[in-house]
Amino acid sequence: MDKKDLRIVFMGTPEFAVGSLRRLVEGGYNVVGVVTQPDRPVGRHQNTLQPSEVKEYAVANNIPVLQPVKMKDATFLEQLRQWRADLQVVVAFRMLPEAVWAMPRWGTFNVHAALLPQYRGAAPINWAVINGETETGVTTFFLDKDIDTGRIIAQKHFPIPDDANVEYVYDGLMKLGADICIETVDKILTFDGHIESIDQSEIAGQTGTELKPAPKIFKETCRINWDQPAKKVYDFVRGLSPYPCAWTKLSDGNTLKIIESQKTGQAADGCRPGEIHEQKGRLFIACADQWLEIGQLQLSGKKRMDARSFLNGNHEIDRLMAQ
């Protein structure tokens, strides 16, 4: 079968998914429809609807779009069935019921931003950086009844530099994800849907390493625990930067977001974790073992700024504690 004859339905929502959709469309693949989230109410009064990045791209390229509220809705399932997909491609979307993922004759594959079986869940990029990983990657796998547990088709690796934040890894994996998406579609085409895949339990058994999850991140998840080594806090900050941001409470009740930090290697002997120190226009906070220098930050109600600019208007910051 030629790629122009393969009927593909694409499912995704954020910018991360647009890279793969764009490569399919510009590569001449037959994307017959797109499924994405309903438009989100935005603005002060929630009276403006914001379409997803995937919808914006699909509409600009005259691709039909479905936006179901519930994936098991009978009307949606019938509309999806009418597209007569041979294959469904999923990138950064919600969990699908079997009635959806089992519909195409060649099944449904997902592009996941991690090296499965590690980091199953909603936030694999954040958790890989938070945990100080030096490598991550992307995986394509066939969907099944559980979350991120299906048989693996292909993987690509991506190094994480020690100074990289989530934005850097996100951008790299978005491009790598588009590459592996196209390669997986081509592989499925070449073998008429009959391609080899690997059970994730085999990989887990071979490595023998503990599986690390990647659950959804909430506001409370992002609170810094200063009773940890500086390296742990440093990784935590960059794993949540530039969004949603690690934060701490100051002893005056204000919230301080930490966007960028640097390891100093300087012991914080005799200091309590969370103790704040200012020195010649530089800002430091004590961790369990060493001082962490704060590069960029944002006080509640203020704009983001570097530490020097922040200290110009907060001369007595070192009287406070980070909690």
Report residue 46's pLDDT band, with 50, 70 and 90 as the boundaries: confident
pLDDT (0 to 100) of residue 318: 80
Is pLDDT above 80 for 315?
no
The percentage of the chain sitting over the pLDDT mark of 90, rounded to a whole number, equals: 90
The number of CA neighbours under 13 Å toward the Cβ of 90 is 23
Averaged over 232-237, what is the pLDDT?
98
- pLDDT at position 48, please? 87
Contact 235, 166 (CB under 8 A): no
Q: How far apart are the C-alpha atoms of 166 and 176, rounded to whole Å?
A: 15
Is the predicted pLDDT of residue 289 greater than 90, yes or no? yes
Task: Note whether 165 and 241 are within 8 A (CB).
Answer: yes
Nearest Cα to Cα of residue 245 among 144, 166, 181, 150: 166
Report, in angstroms and rounded to the nearest whole number, the Rg of the chain calculated over CA atoms. 23
What pLDDT score was predicted for residue 77? Answer: 98
Of the listed ranges 160-164, 242-246, 315-319, the one predicted with least confidence: 315-319
Give the model's pLDDT for residue 42.
85
SS3 of the chain: helix, strand, coil, percent, to 5: 30, 30, 45
pLDDT of residue 28: 97
Domains and CATH numbers, the chain: 7-207 (3.40.50.170), 220-319 (3.10.25.10)
Residue 169 φ then ψ, to 5°: -70, -40
Averaged pLDDT, 60-81? 98
Q: Provide mean pLDDT across the span 73-91.
A: 98
Residue 5 neighbours by CB under 8 Å, 6+ apart: 30
**What mean pLDDT, rounded, does the chain reach?**
95
Lowest mean pLDDT among 15-29, 95-109, 148-162, 308-322: 308-322
Between CA 77 and CA 48 the distance in angstroms is: 28
- 121-169 pLDDT, tens digit per residue, is 999 999 999 999 999 999 999 999 999 999 999 999 999 999 999 999 9
Q: Which has the closest alpha carbon to 40: 52, 23, 57, 55?
A: 52
207 pLDDT more than 80:
no
Task: Please give the C-alpha separations between residue 88 and each of 34, 279, 312, in angstroms, as whole numbers.
Answer: 10, 57, 55
Q: Could you read off the pLDDT of 184-196 as tens digits, one per residue?
A: 999 999 999 999 9
Q: Yes or no: say if 284 and 292 are a contact pair by the CB < 8 Å rule.
A: yes
Predicted confidence band of residue 43 (pLDDT cuts 50, 70, 90): confident
Position 4 pLDDT exceeds 80: yes
286 has a pLDDT exceeding 90:
yes
* Mean pLDDT, residues 160-187: 98
Give residue 253's pLDDT.
Answer: 93
Instruction: Return the H-helix or E-strand segment holding 110.
Output: strand 108-112
Query: Stretch 1-16: mean pLDDT, rounded?
Result: 95
pTM of the model: 0.94
Q: How many angstroms separate the Cα of 93 from the Cα of each of 10, 62, 228? A: 10, 21, 34
